[in-house]
Amino acid sequence: MKAIYMDHHATTPMDPKVLEAMMPYFLENFGNPASVTHSYGWTANEAVEKARTQIANLIGATPKEILFTSGATESDNLAIRGSAHALRQKGNHIITCQTEHKAVLDTCKVLEKEGFTLSFLPVDRYGGVDPDHLQRAITPKTILISIMLANGEVGTIHPIPEIGKIAQEHEILFHCDAVQGIERIPVDVDQLKIDLMSLSGHKIYGPKGIGALYIRKKLPRIRLEPLLRGGGQEQGVRSGTLNVPGIVGLGKACEIAKEVLPQEAVILKDLRNLLFKGILSNLDGVHLNGHPENRLSGNLNLSFESVEGESLLLGLKGVAVSSGSACASASREPSYVLKAMGVREDLAYSSIRFGIGRFNTQEEVDHVIGEVVERTKKLRQMSRHFEKAGVMV
């Protein structure tokens, strides 16, 4: 069997339909959408505007509310820094969560050095934010709340409807990093009362290096302070020549996501449950991290007692999974997400994240179950052997 990819929260393979849509814009339709005097520019611009519509249709927005970026990291930076500086005269307090993506946390920490006040909300043992904690953290100077849609490491989905309602009641901007889960969870920005939302192409079977930021245009209209200046593209908020092939790919990926979302979520959940039950029925000392029900359909984060996570990862033959967040996987420290949830340090070090995606099969799940069970038993046997021999493990 070929290598099995089960790390879809780190990145996803491109859907062949996405690549097919992109190809003409690398070759014959190579124009710059800012070239308004000839057909090459017109064709490129039409493709960009079509993609805006495709993205807007996925999230219940209007095309004019979609702004293109290089990816979710830029979208997060633009949303948080852009709104913070634009609203500084109104206040300097920002609320976020301890388990947010580093693109949010690090951006907030930079703002803290610039004189902004930060509140980092705790999470419960499942990794979820308590809306009551948010309510108590709000002050007269609060200008922005930034809470992700779902945590890509443990899969827990945050109570976004409640958070959006609180933000609206207090007239505070609400930014949501929706990178994880946008193709798995139905999202309507109006119903959820989201003002700013970050998206990424490579997490929804689209290309890398492209993202989008939803910016509410309805009252109260949001005006962001730009991070990049130059040609005035994207309504002057994000200058730079547009990545037309990437934009086309992101649009197509969003169109596909809208078409397949209901049935795909059910399929992924079934495969996820099959994987969980298969491992649990063959191994003791396995702990689920994240909410047991209110979680992303393809996410399974497990800790294995008496096993070091990295050893288990290296021992899985031809299976691509991860320990913790891919963006921080070079760190030797235990996951900051699991630490915030109160997971014991030894279990945090032994965590493995399985991310099931669109092209995984039941046959692959069965194979991964066998590999995980076999390798875990071997590692535990080795651990007991070293302990009996008086060797530290």
Q: How many angstroms separate the CA atoms of 102 and 119, rounded?
A: 15
Residues 6+ apart with CB under 8 A from 109: 118
DSSP state string for 198-213: EEESTTTTS-SS-EEE
Tokens of 114: 């610039």
Tell me if 321 sits within 8 A of 272, measured CB to CB.
no
The reply to whether 97 belongs to the active site is: no
User: One-letter amino acid identity for 335?
Assistant: S
Q: Residue written as tokens 């913070």?
A: 84
User: What are residue 173's DSSP bridge partners?
Assistant: 144
Query: Across-strand partners of 302?
Result: 288, 352
Query: Which are the contacts of 357, defined by CB distance < 8 A and separation ≥ 6?
Result: 5, 6, 8, 12, 13, 205, 268, 298
235 residue type, one letter: Q
Catalytic option among 97, 108, 254, 327: 327
**Both ends of the chain: CA-CA distance in Å?**
33
Start-end of H helices in 31-173: 39-59, 72-86, 102-113, 131-137, 160-169
Residue 28 CB partners (closer than 8 Å, separation 6+): none
Burial of 79 per CB tally in 10 Å (0-12, 13-18, 19+): buried
DSSP reduced 3-state for 277: helix
Integer-rounded Cα Rg, in Å, for the chain is 22
119 is written with which tokens? 């509140």
Catalytically active residues, by annotation: 327
